[in-house]
Amino acid sequence: MKLIVAIVQDEDAGRVVSELMDKGFGVTKLATTGGFLRAGNTTLISGVEDDKLDQVIGIIEKICKSREQITASTAPMGGGAAQGVFVPYPIRVTVGGATVFVLEVSQFIKV
């Protein structure tokens, strides 16, 4: 048995959960926050039998596509009077996709 921990963007989470549940997979949804953009994301946890692992990962890959987003960043201005002043400017970042961890489960107990 495997434990899948998938970190997905909030806007993809609902569709992933629906698709997994429609296919008969149990899933637990946790609201989490990413470090880089400090934006909300969702961590999904699902226990699956070894032979179903590729099916679950395929669902996640199908729905969680990477895309570009423009966000505000800050950079320090030059020296002199402006030293220590930060000016926001737009930058393009790639968001979306999924980070998936697959862990071996040595014991599973459902009470």
Output the pTM of the full model: 0.74
Contact of 64 with 12, CB cutoff 8 Å: yes
For 2-66+96-104, CATH number? Answer: 3.30.70.120
- Could you tell me the residue ranges of all domains in the chain? 2-66+96-104
Q: Encoding tokens for residue 9?
A: 């963007």
Nearest to 57 by CA among 22, 26, 16, 29: 16
Question: Phi/psi of residue 95, each to 5°?
Answer: -125, 175
Q: Encoding tokens for residue 27?
A: 């899933």
- Model confidence pLDDT, tens digit, residues 28-71: 999 888 765 566 789 999 999 999 999 999 999 999 987 777 77
